[in-house]
Chains A and B, each alone.
Chain A
Amino acid sequence: MNPWRIIQIFSTIVIVTLSTLWIIDGFQVFTKDKTEKITIVKDEIFGTDIEKREWIEDFQLGLLPDDPIHPYRSLAFPSLICIALILFAQNRIHSQENTRP
């Protein structure tokens, strides 16, 4: 198989995988490094439901990076690289087909 085609397939897999991860993580705009665990408990004395909240370490992929100096921690940056690779590979494939006798 043409190595440029392999690069295209690999890039597509990366985009689909990251997009799936982004959807699973809840369409976050920015990447997050913590998630809030909320437990609801019944408070008998005050006769109401009380939320217990705690932050736990949990990476959630966002469309944009949490820190501009780490752009790879996002969906957008690696996806743009992959799209550029797909287009470049397509260009190479096209050139190879045109130069073939």
Chain B
Amino acid sequence: MKALLILAGILILSSSAFATQLGNVKGKKVVTLQNSVGTSIAKFNSNSPLEKFEGNSQSLQGSFTLNADNLEQSIGKISFPVRSMKTGLSKRDDHMYGKDWLDAQNHPNIEFELKKLSTISIKKFDNSGFEFSAIAEGMCSVKGIAKPAKAKLVVKYVLESEATRKRAQGDLVMIDADFSVSLKDYNVLGRGDIIGSKVGENIDLDIKLFGSTSN
């Protein structure tokens, strides 16, 4: 019995030792994306021998919960409509929404569901807020196929002040995330041999999110 209690104590102590905390910032902070804080954007880059192009979507929606007592346990869901993705070439956009590509009709959204954060490194912590980098681990859904995905991210969290209230109520958050998706993994095959020649096999995403803790 005594040994069991000691073991339980060790487990509790070790789990709290691995939980990344943020000093006097406590509890769960629900952050909702808001355009008044900043325009959230998902930029995507395709790099192929025949053409390099980039596009973006500025219709990101969603929210996430930063657990200040244990950042690793942060969760959330961000999505954007396929039809909001633009590349500067209307015909290419139409093809991109089509069945051979992202199939916007049957799978209208691209989603990233955050399950946890790992490799957290606190970069700054003061009275105005904090900044940390981490790896976001979760599931990325494209064309109805969900696959595990990891994104490198930097989170800037600014505590509410006179200056922040001019934009939005609550604490403000900016997230910079980078990750890459392989089109094959999501059954995005295109027509003929376009992938690899005109469209890159992997698409790099650079995502900027702006939100606040007020709803």
B-contacting residues of A (Cβ < 8 Å)? 29-36, 43-48, 50-53, 55, 66-67
Contact = CB atoms under 8 A, between A and B. Distances in A.
A30 B89 contact: yes
Contacts of A33: 88-90
Given A44-B163, A45-B167, A50 B89 contact: no
Given A51-B41, A66-B90, 12 more contacts: A29-B50, A34-B89, A36-B88, A44-B163, A46-B38, A46-B156, A48-B174, A50-B208, A53-B58, A55-B86, A55-B88, A67-B91
Given A29-B50, A52-B39, A53-B58, A45 B164 contact: yes
Given A45-B172, A46-B174, A66-B89, A30 B164 contact: no
15 contacts: A30-B51, A30-B92, A33-B88, A33-B90, A34-B86, A35-B88, A36-B88, A43-B38, A43-B174, A45-B172, A46-B174, A50-B208, A55-B88, A66-B89, A67-B91
Nearest to A34: B88
> DSSP majority for the A interface?
strand
A35 B90 CA distance: 11
B65 to A, nearest CB: 20
> DSSP majority for the B interface?
mixed
Contact of B91 (A43, A48, A66): A66
Contacts of A48: 156, 174
B56 interface: yes
Interface residues of B, number: 21
Contacts of B56: 36, 53
Q: Taking each of A35, A44, A67, which has the highest tally of chain B beta carbons within 10 Å of its own beta carbon?
A: A67
A38 to B, nearest CB: 10
A83 B50 CA distance: 24
B158 interface: yes
A53 B164 contact: no
A60 to B, nearest CB: 8
**Which 8 pairs across A and B sit closest by C-beta, in order of nearness?**
A34-B88, A29-B51, A67-B91, A46-B174, A32-B88, A32-B89, A66-B91, A46-B156
Interface in B164-204: 164, 167, 172, 174
A31 B87 CA distance: 12
Q: Taking each of A33, A46, A50, A51, which has the highest tally of chain B beta carbons within 10 Å of its own beta carbon?
A: A46
A46 to B, nearest CB: 5
Q: Taking each of A34, A44, A45, A55, which has the highest tally of chain B beta carbons within 10 Å of its own beta carbon?
A: A45
